[in-house]
Structure 1
Amino acid sequence: MQKPFNRLQARMLKALTETLFHETPMAISPSQVVDNLQEHFSNIDGDKPKEIGLALYGLFLILGGPFFFLASPKMRQSLIRRRLQNTRVDLFQDIARTKGVILAGYYGHWEHGDEETNFDNPIYQRLKYQLPGQRDRSAPGELPIKREPRRDLKAEVFVGHDAIPETVDVIVIGSGAGGAVAAASVADEGHEVLILEAGYNYPSSRITHEEARMTARLFKDGALQTTKDRDVIVFQGRVVGGSTVINNGICLRMKHAGLVHPQAEDVYQTWANLGAPISETELTTSYEAVEGALEVSEISAISGRNNGPHLIDGWNKYAAQSTDPMDKQAISAWFQKNYGPKTPDSECVYCGYCNTGCPYGRKKAMPESFLTHATSTDRDKPARILDGAEATEIIWKTSSDGTRVAEAVDITLRDGRKRRIAARKGVVVAAGAMASSNLLINSGIENSGDGISLNIACPVVALMPEGQDMNVWNEDQMATYVDRGDYLIESHFQPPMSMATLVPGWFDEHFRRMLNFNRLVSAGVLFPADRLGKMEDGKLKLKVGEPELALLRRALATMTKVHFLNGAIEVYPALLKGQTLRKGMSDAEIDTFYEEAIIEPDDVVLSSSHPHGGNAINADPNKGVVDLDQRVHGTTNVYVTDASVMPSCIRVNAQLTTMAMSHRAMAGKKRFG
């Protein structure tokens, strides 16, 4: 294994580890943390390891160069507090986030071997955390932990890199929510379909609970992708099945009585006003078709037994004392998800690892549903999947009337080899909002990449009283939500490595918070950043402004009050400085705290798993990239079927709507003759 960090960088990692964990009883050594990080980053493709290495050089200079190595750990802490924790310099604030890398190297420690080998993992023992295979599921109503790999894609549906066809009928670029649904629809019409996926195939039989490795292999940039200014982390899957493999399976419609706030923005009307009059009736038909195929249903209460009710009960107490009609009409509910059917071999076993893939084969993500349908050998022309292949450009010819016709797609394989695959009938672009935009920009499509929206999340962790162990790691990561109309609150929790990067705080304070792992509860606010982004030089440029920050402050203050109302004694909002709020604060004091603590985006940890827009639907080619049928303006045979076609922010989780939009555009439409 070639180590991604050189001697100076490794020495910096070790010095930072010694400093961050100074005077704490570490369960593994600083040297082991460095070894973990060397291995972790060796599994990440692309330039992210190099970028982190450069950040380490920046830290070296900011913290005094060679003096940092010579200083005592206490002096190093003083330097870090002054120059990183309490800084207001944007560059220093960005570099301060490197702290999360150290935490991942410590809390992501994995003893080489299988799950059983890690039953005695020293980090897990210190946290009193149990891996799924250790958990007692003997009580009535509990579901046993058992792998069911029968729904995994079969090896024969994949195309080897030395057996790539020269020509196919239709090329579908992307295997996630939009691409898989489109591929199934096109294959149903009898066309020969080749599905391109930049990531590799990771069936449930290959997925483990080794957080660091799964994060490195299943996410774009190892889950460290950010906006261009590094203010927002953007999580996206890079695996066969796309982000459906590494999400929580949440299925919410843009508009749904009883599940969406009645006073929330009518997205259909917004789209119509923008020039994209999408029929609610038509899209509802597609919603229903997708929900039926995925067997979407409300999750069981046992799967989110502690963290889920904590949010709903706390919200009900908050709403009962509020005089705001938006609070009174807010929807609080259990999530609808694509696990099913509810049988012993298919129902979610609530292991808490959704975000690093389902090792139990329970979630009906794209590989277990639409990709299986598209590649079924029961049809004359089963679709095939070429993984480890990134589409780089669509090749055109021009018809007599000046319209572009796609005739081929250029791809780059993981080993650097380049190939060109001809398309007899057409191309479907569904690589995700950012990648699809980059592809169309590289292919000469004007206006692509503008108007990208994010649903931005910000976590709020809380500590319950001593003796009140919640053990919320032994349940579904995301169980319940509150739709307040202008923002949402979602219950969530993560396994140790991921949770350590969400729990704020520095030095021994962070360590103490993690030692109370069993007493932590958590939820996150979700707020819209509507059409603020654009692709620039291959990256998403998006600046969160004061209107968004004002909404965030209000939402975080509300979530803090909800935590306290349901018994929390301390609240840890995701702020760079790592401040603590304590029970007994008045509502006015909480409001004032957030007004003073959040001045700019760098003050708070923000992330998004829902980029959409960039290739908006619009009847006017001067205002959008695709027409009302989702065909690229000025072309005859290129369609876009992923979240990039959404003209504005849809406010809720985008998975189901992406699938429904793809179904609407492709199912039974005979787009390719």
Structure 2
Amino acid sequence: MTIDLDQMTDAAFARLRKDNSRLTLQYLDGAQYRGRFDRRLAAFAGQARFVREFDSLDAPGALVAEDFLLAGDGADDGGDDDDAGPLRRAVLESAAEGLDFGPGERPGYGPPGGVVTLDEVLVPVVAEQPMVLLGRAVLTRLPAAADRDTADHGAAEPDAVSGFFLLERTTPPEAIKPLLSGRKLRTLRAFTEALFAPRLDQAVLSLDEIVDSIQEQVALIGRDILATVKLVLFGIERLDFFGGFSSQSLDKRQRLIRNTLLDPDSDGPFGLFRDMARLRALIYAGYYRREASYRRIGFVPPPDRPTHEGPAPERAVPTGRLTGGESFDVIVVGSGAGGAVTAYNLARQGYEVALLEAGPLVANAEITHNEAAMTAKLYEDGGLQTTANNDLVIFQAHAVGGSTVVNNAICLNLKPETLHPRARANHPFDLWAARFDIDIDRDRFYAAYDTIADFLPIREISETQAGPNGRLLLDGWAAYRQTLDDPDDRAAPAGRFRKNYRQDGYGCFQCGYCNTGCPYERKNDARGRYIHEAATRHGLKVFPRTWVDRVRLRDWWGGALKAQGVYARVPGQGGVWIGARHAVVLAGGVGATTAIMRRSGLSHNVGNQVSFNVGSPMPALYDREIGAQYGVQLATYVDLGDYLLESLFHPPLGLAVMMPGWFADHFDRMHSYDRLGSAGVLFATHNSGRARRDGAIDYVMSGEELALYKRSLATLARVHFAAGAVEVYPPSIAGATLKRGDDIEAHMDHFIRRPGDATMSSSHPQGGSPMHGRPEWGVVDARCRVHGTRNLFVTDASVFPSAIRVNAQWTTMAMAHYQSSRPDWI
């Protein structure tokens, strides 16, 4: 009996179990292989805990050289993983019995190493060098069901070899040793102790364990963040110029934090105090990334909920690897909302299309509920990318499918009938026509929305999917709007979001982890729908981990430039040249697209007119249990014309990072998890930002924008109180509490005086390659072709000359379809 693991279904595994068979693992090693572990193997062996334990292997730095994985005895008692302690002893005992873990690195498949069963589950990792460990699953027929526990599994002969999986450690050993030492480690420990001291006796981790976990989190994100952390610790140590921060008493350390980092009157030179205060997010991430800590606050992991379902069948995407010298009709760079739709349309028209993506192809089986690991794996800079002045966090994905893989599947459009009257009167298309000489064919653009909605499809989520937190926002809004005088505001559009969830029997069951990818294949993201369809039916060639340096442009007839292909970097291959016979399309997002064009020698207006949809979540404590964890992350909205209110709730790590507050306040708020409700604001900025050659973005928020931000927060606070909140936690660095009866505007004015005083982020950067009808003022024309070129195009949100205000996924897809579906486009 031979098994193809990639084609195995849950039913087939169930039949194997009834057939008295057992899956075991054999180990090979080899530095050139990449792959994945199929979590269905663990499900077949009855090892639910093994699935959760295995999550930590998905990210760089999650293992140290001597540590191994042990799933226990197969019984899932729902408790903490105390029986995972004897890891090292178990491996050493197995080695003493002659279990061969492989002789070392070799160029190809070598003789198999020892065999262990999943019921014993030992997963060895070679200790001395960066490595990959290649294994294969073996099906073994057992003597009888009653003899399963006593069978000599190590000596059993396999029936058939079924397939391969891979355990990979991508971080060299020196990178996963403790990252900090000496004075900086003492500073981190002293700062962490100051934050947790009032509640340290109630914490599930000791101080040393918290510090170790923080360092592991830094290792997950990567060494690029280490220099920033060291600089921040250097500054904190010098908050006391005489003896040093770490040398002071606990009481004085807490006073130093309150009087410098938290005081709205104290910002420090160049806003350094505000930047140092953000270290708290990393510390709380280190604590709440542990299962023991999030179970303590009352969070129920999705696998333990009665609504939990298994993954839908994987919609695999075949991929290739470039060696250099290949040529295609069209090269599309970037695989997110714009690039995927463009590649699909062109491939369907018969062009030979290559889709190049700098990020990896992350299969759904590789996605877990380990927030720390998934954020590090799926986001640029581990989710810590910011504007140059650190005032605004920018979330951009780093994977095949782009931001559609990690967004909340929200689909809002610009059709006038869906907008607030104020937004209708200031429609982006009117602005684009008046100021940027871009006349959008609205009938055809709105038809593009409909085409995408039918293809994905896009539908309004159910009441169950919206969950208690989604209903909370709408209930609060229904009560608050009765107090308003403006009839337009009283009739503001409000309801449940429309989303691109699957509608084929594998609907979303609201696990609440949309922002870190869907391990259940429930989202119709760009990878699972457009790219999968184009690759399996229309010949699209997909090349992940392919970083494009620049486009090769040559003079052409009439003074225009012609794109002839791209120079790219491929792991293990170095720089390669890829030719394009007809066109090159850039769709890598604002930072990447701008950087590629500048490296290609295009500089006129490139990087200008960058804008954002900016948001902040604002949690609140209610007078009753809410159960906000039992729903999708973003569920409902209210459109107030100048800004939107959107329900928003996070799993523990995400909530801890964005939860305002310090010391005991933060701890107590997190431990009121089931009484918390949360929503956020979203508003559009002016197009005053500028993307640099290296992809970084310069942006300074204006006073007018800051005033709009505070006004939106004030409205949301009133909606929270109308819904029954007893305390509201505005997203200020100071983390002060807003209580019923307080002067809301005065609170906002006192604690948010500068943009750096609040925690703000954007998942929707726009501009940098703005459309304009006149070449001297823009980068691309009305057909998204780069001015002065014959065949270089851009089809991502960087072409928007101003922010569209609403969540950008659907409009970005519509723009790409509006352009690339034209038969004569290229």
Can you give the 5+ residue segments of structure 1 that lack an aligned partner in the other structure? 110-120, 138-143
Correspondence for 2:486 among 305, 315, 324 = 324
Deviation of 1:32 after TM superposition, in Å, equals 2.2
Q: CA-to-partner distance for each residue in 1:414-434, whole Å, 9 max, x for gaps?
A: 568222212122101000112
- 1:575 corresponds to: 732
User: Contact (CA 8 Å) 1:527, 1:552: kept in 2 or not?
Assistant: yes
- 2:393 corresponds to: 233
- Cα distance in 2 for partners of 1:15, 1:208 equals 33
Distance 1:174 1:359, change over 3 A: same
Q: How does 1:148-547 map to 2 (within 5 A)?
A: 148-151=312-315, 153-154=316-317, 157-160=318-321, 163=323, 166-257=326-417, 259-264=418-423, 265-274=426-435, 275-341=437-503, 343-344=504-505, 346-376=506-536, 378-379=537-538, 382-414=539-571, 417-445=574-602, 446-465=604-623, 468-538=624-694, 539-547=696-704
Q: CA-to-partner distance for each residue in 1:198-246, whole Å, 9 max, x for gaps?
A: 1111121110000000000100110100000000001110111000000
1:641 matched to 2:795: yes
Deviation of 1:383 after TM superposition, in Å, equals 1.3
Question: What SS does the aligned partner of 1:573 have?
Answer: coil
- Cα distance in 1 for partners of 2:209, 2:300 equals 22
Alignment-mate amino acid for residue 20 of structure 1: L
User: Contact (CA 8 Å) 2:345, 2:817: kept in 1 or not?
Assistant: yes
- 2:782 corresponds to: 628
Distance 1:374 1:93, change over 3 A: same
Question: What SS does the aligned partner of 2:198 have?
Answer: coil
Q: Which has the higher contact order (CA 8 A, sep 6+)?
A: 1
Deviation of 1:126 after TM superposition, in Å, equals 1.3
Distance 1:61 1:413, change over 3 A: farther
- 1:115 corresponds to: none
Q: How does 1:35-50 map to 2 (within 5 A)?
A: 35-45=212-222, 47-50=224-227
Correspondence for 1:14 among 175, 189, 192 = 189
CA-atom RMSD in angstroms: 1.7
Question: What SS does the aligned partner of 1:150 have?
Answer: coil
- 1:610 corresponds to: 764
Q: How does 1:65-76 map to 2 (within 5 A)?
A: 67-76=244-253
Deviation of 1:36 after TM superposition, in Å, equals 2.4
User: Contact (CA 8 Å) 1:460, 1:572: kept in 2 or not?
Assistant: yes
Q: CA-to-partner distance for each residue in 1:595-635, whole Å, 9 max, x for gaps?
A: 23221101111100000111111111111111111100110
- Cα distance in 2 for partners of 1:226, 1:457 equals 14
Question: What SS does the aligned partner of 2:256 have?
Answer: helix
- Cα distance in 2 for partners of 1:46, 1:181 equals 34
- Cα distance in 2 for partners of 1:230, 1:22 equals 28
Correspondence for 1:107 among 277, 288, 298 = 288
User: Contact (CA 8 Å) 1:463, 1:571: kept in 2 or not?
Assistant: yes
Alignment-mate amino acid for residue 273 of structure 2: F
User: Contact (CA 8 Å) 2:239, 2:245: kept in 1 or not?
Assistant: no
Question: What SS does the aligned partner of 1:570 have?
Answer: strand
Question: What SS does the aligned partner of 1:474 have?
Answer: coil
- Cα distance in 1 for partners of 2:191, 2:414 equals 45
Question: What SS does the aligned partner of 1:237 have?
Answer: coil
User: Contact (CA 8 Å) 1:326, 1:485: kept in 2 or not?
Assistant: no
- 1:146 corresponds to: 310
Deviation of 1:324 after TM superposition, in Å, equals 2.1
Alignment-mate amino acid for residue 30 of structure 1: L
- Cα distance in 2 for partners of 1:146, 1:326 equals 45
- Cα distance in 1 for partners of 2:326, 2:243 equals 56
User: Contact (CA 8 Å) 2:347, 2:353: kept in 1 or not?
Assistant: yes
Deviates more, 1:47-56 or 1:575-584: 47-56
Alignment-mate amino acid for residue 321 of structure 2: G
Deviates more, 1:179-188 or 1:24-33: 24-33
Q: CA-to-partner distance for each residue in 1:132-151, whole Å, 9 max, x for gaps?
A: 011123xxxxxx42211422
- Cα distance in 2 for partners of 1:187, 1:30 equals 56
- Cα distance in 1 for partners of 2:699, 2:253 equals 34
- 2:8 corresponds to: none
Deviation of 1:475 after TM superposition, in Å, equals 0.9
TM-score by length of 2: 0.75
- Cα distance in 1 for partners of 2:324, 2:346 equals 20
Alignment-mate amino acid for residue 189 of structure 1: Q
Distance 1:572 1:508, change over 3 A: same
Distance 1:542 1:13, change over 3 A: same
User: Contact (CA 8 Å) 2:438, 2:772: kept in 1 or not?
Assistant: yes
- Cα distance in 2 for partners of 1:159, 1:66 equals 58
Deviates more, 1:244-253 or 1:4-13: 4-13
Question: What SS does the aligned partner of 2:329 have?
Answer: strand
Alignment-mate amino acid for residue 14 of structure 1: R
- Cα distance in 2 for partners of 1:46, 1:437 equals 25
- 2:76 corresponds to: none
Deviation of 1:181 after TM superposition, in Å, equals 0.4
- 1:127 corresponds to: 297
Q: Percent identity?
A: 39
- Cα distance in 2 for partners of 1:70, 1:526 equals 43
1:28 matched to 2:205: yes
Question: What SS does the aligned partner of 2:688 have?
Answer: strand
Deviates more, 1:224-233 or 1:78-87: 78-87
Deviation of 1:537 after TM superposition, in Å, equals 4.7
- 1:5 corresponds to: 179
User: Contact (CA 8 Å) 1:393, 1:409: kept in 2 or not?
Assistant: yes
- Cα distance in 2 for partners of 1:414, 1:325 equals 59
Alignment-mate amino acid for residue 601 of structure 1: P
Distance 1:158 1:49, change over 3 A: farther
Deviates more, 1:644-653 or 1:262-271: 262-271
1:58 matched to 2:238: no
Give 1 or 2 for the bigger CA radius of gyration: 2
User: Contact (CA 8 Å) 1:63, 1:83: kept in 2 or not?
Assistant: no
Deviation of 1:501 after TM superposition, in Å, equals 1.1
Q: CA-to-partner distance for each residue in 1:462-492, whole Å, 9 max, x for gaps?
A: 0011xx2112112100010000001100000
- Cα distance in 1 for partners of 2:544, 2:181 equals 35
- Cα distance in 2 for partners of 1:235, 1:439 equals 19
Question: What SS does the aligned partner of 1:314 have?
Answer: helix
Q: CA-to-partner distance for each residue in 1:425-451, whole Å, 9 max, x for gaps?
A: 210100011211111122122111100
Distance 1:48 1:70, change over 3 A: closer
Alignment-mate amino acid for residue 408 of structure 1: G
User: Contact (CA 8 Å) 2:359, 2:546: kept in 1 or not?
Assistant: yes
- Cα distance in 2 for partners of 1:172, 1:133 equals 38
Q: CA-to-partner distance for each residue in 1:628-671, whole Å, 9 max, x for gaps?
A: 11100110111100000111110100100000000011014343
Question: What SS does the aligned partner of 1:227 have?
Answer: coil
